[in-house]
Structure 1
Amino acid sequence: MAKYQSRLDKRSKKNTNKILNIMIAVVLLLIVVVGGTIVFGGGGDEKATTDAPKNSETKDAKSDKSAKEKQDSDKSVSMEENSDTEDKADEEQKENDKKKEDEQKKDETSVDNNESVALDDSKMKVEEGDGDNVEKTMVHPDWKPIGTEQSGDHVSSYETGTTDWQEKIKAVSYATGISEDNMTVWWMEGNGGPQKSMATVTAKDIKTPYRVYLQWVDGKGWQPTKVQELKENDKD
């Protein structure tokens, strides 16, 4: 009986040792698993933590680059627009300057048909007639050349419809105040030189005859020098 009891005790002790060994093995396994989780899990977090700023930095860098490119593009467009605006302003200024220059030249060298109205009649010098058919002679100190479209050497023309003829008529209208469409030209002829002319005219509604003396001014056209009011139309 005692021998049998000894065997039971040995078997019980062996079972207990086995259970302890298993528990120790389980504990060790848990330690290994937990330790591995901590080690590898922490490394992943560290990597994620380390990578996150890099990704953020890259994203910020791309954003800054895009913003800079847009800013440069906007500057380029703005510079082009400013350049176009300056070019247009220069062109407009040149055109305005040219117009002013042309108008100034026109004012200096010519007059239009209505300018005779603006002349100060009080400046007109009137003298008694110095011939049998001359009622009075008139000279205005402000008469100017009427302008010309002709260039080069001037050749006086007495052919109706030519440029020189039309400019003579314009000068006569300017001196007498008779509009061209209300004027009857009775005679146009030279007056002692290739650059001098005189015309005998009347208004269609008023039959008072006038003889107008003209002098050619190079580059500026025909200029009235004297107007005679005649007693009668000697070219009728």
Structure 2
Amino acid sequence: MNNDLNQHSRSGYRAKRRKTNLILNSLIIIVLALIIFVAYNIFASGDSDNTSQPKQKPKTEQVKNEKKTDDTALNQESAKTEEAAKEDTGDENETTQNDQQQNNEQAEEASTEGTDSSQAVVSDGGSSANVIRTIENPAWKPVGTSQTGQHTPVYNSNSVDWQEMLNAITYATGLDQNNMIVWFLGRDRSTTNASIGTVSSKDKQQKYRVYIKWVDGEGWVPTKVEELAKIDR
């Protein structure tokens, strides 16, 4: 009887143990399943975020791209500025050439049409022994000017004033500026707003000292021409 009781107790213990093991194994399986599910959701959401959001360029690459864009814009602007400067220079040169041509034409017209030679007073000799004869003509008129405002003589070969002085010399002598050598052109210290020019033809056969005076608003007018025996600056 004792043996039957012991055997029954052992059988109950084993059954209870198997039941406990079954419950524990089930719980383990459930926990593992939950872990796997949670892990899957985490990885799946991470891949989705990476896919939906575009990759940002590294800051270094962005800076390089921005610098390239700025350099390109700067180069384009510089090219436009240079082109505009060339156009302005070309227009300015063309305007200067046109002005000079117009001045030459005006001087030539004045020398051929505007002078009444019948009123010219010609006398032998002049201010020095180098002067062959002196010519003065009250019919000489100012050659015109593009200058405005208070006038101060400018002895610069690139200036408008210089060109207008040459126009007056051409007007008085009839010597073409394309066939003219200017040996001297400067201030006449004997009077105000006056200049003296020594010129000759390129073959030096015609040599003159020309006195000119400034008239406000009208330009330079010749006052006296001396024909020279030799170049005297």
TM-score (norm 2): 0.50
Query: Partner of 2:39: helix, strand, or coil?
Result: helix
Tell me the residue number matched to 1:25.
16
Alignment CA distance shift 1:207-1:49 (3 Å): same
Tell me the residue number matched to 2:148.
152
Tell me the residue number matched to 2:39.
48
Write the distance in 2 (CA, Å) between the matches of 1:44 and 1:186: 107
Once the 2 structures are TM-superposed, how far is the Cα of residue 110 of structure 1 from its aligned partner?
A: 2.2
Matched, 1:105 2:95: yes
Measured against aligned partners, the alpha-carbon deviations of 1:1-30 in whole angstroms (never above 9, x if no partner) come to: xxxxxxxxx111111111111111221121
Query: Partner of 2:96: helix, strand, or coil?
Result: helix
Tell me the residue number matched to 2:137.
none
Measured against aligned partners, the alpha-carbon deviations of 1:129-186 in whole angstroms (never above 9, x if no partner) come to: x99999xxxxxxxxxx9xx9x73058696x989x787446655597264544xx1579
Look up the equivalent residue of 1:24 and give its one-letter code: A
Measured against aligned partners, the alpha-carbon deviations of 1:180-214 in whole angstroms (never above 9, x if no partner) come to: 4xx157998xxxxxxxx9966458x9574247799
Tell me the residue number matched to 1:57.
48
Tell me the residue number matched to 1:116.
none
Tell me the residue number matched to 2:177.
175
| Contact preservation (8 Å) 1:175, 1:212 | no
Write the distance in 2 (CA, Å) between the matches of 1:61 and 1:91: 46
* Ranges in structure 2 where 5+ consecutive residues have no aligned partner: 102-111, 113-117, 125-131, 133-142, 170-174, 189-194
Once the 2 structures are TM-superposed, how far is the Cα of residue 61 of structure 1 from its aligned partner?
A: 4.1
| Contact preservation (8 Å) 1:211, 1:229 | yes
1:85-234 → structure 2 map (5 Å cutoff): 85-110=75-100, 151-152=147-148, 166-167=162-163, 175=177, 177-180=179-182, 183=183, 201-202=199-200, 206=204, 208-210=206-208, 232=229
Look up the equivalent residue of 2:177 and give its one-letter code: A
Look up the equivalent residue of 1:22 and give its one-letter code: Y
| Contact preservation (8 Å) 2:207, 2:227 | yes
| Contact preservation (8 Å) 1:184, 1:202 | no
| Contact preservation (8 Å) 2:197, 2:209 | yes
Once the 2 structures are TM-superposed, how far is the Cα of residue 32 of structure 1 from its aligned partner?
A: 0.9
C-alpha root-mean-square deviation of aligned residues, in Å? 5.6
Tell me the residue number matched to 1:11.
2
Once the 2 structures are TM-superposed, how far is the Cα of residue 75 of structure 1 from its aligned partner?
A: 7.2
| Contact preservation (8 Å) 2:155, 2:161 | yes
Look up the equivalent residue of 1:175 and give its one-letter code: Q
Query: Partner of 2:90: helix, strand, or coil?
Result: helix
Write the distance in 2 (CA, Å) between the matches of 1:105 and 1:160: 21
Measured against aligned partners, the alpha-carbon deviations of 1:92-141 in whole angstroms (never above 9, x if no partner) come to: 22211111111111221127xxxxxxxxxxxxx9xxxx99999xxxxxxx
* The structure with more radius of gyration: 1
Write the distance in 2 (CA, Å) between the matches of 1:66 and 1:47: 29
Q: How many residues align?
A: 181
Query: Partner of 2:56: helix, strand, or coil?
Result: helix
Query: Partner of 1:24: helix, strand, or coil?
Result: helix
Tell me the residue number matched to 1:4.
none
Look up the equivalent residue of 1:16 and give its one-letter code: Q
Query: Percent of aligned positions with the same letter in both sequences?
Result: 12
Alignment CA distance shift 1:175-1:155 (3 Å): same
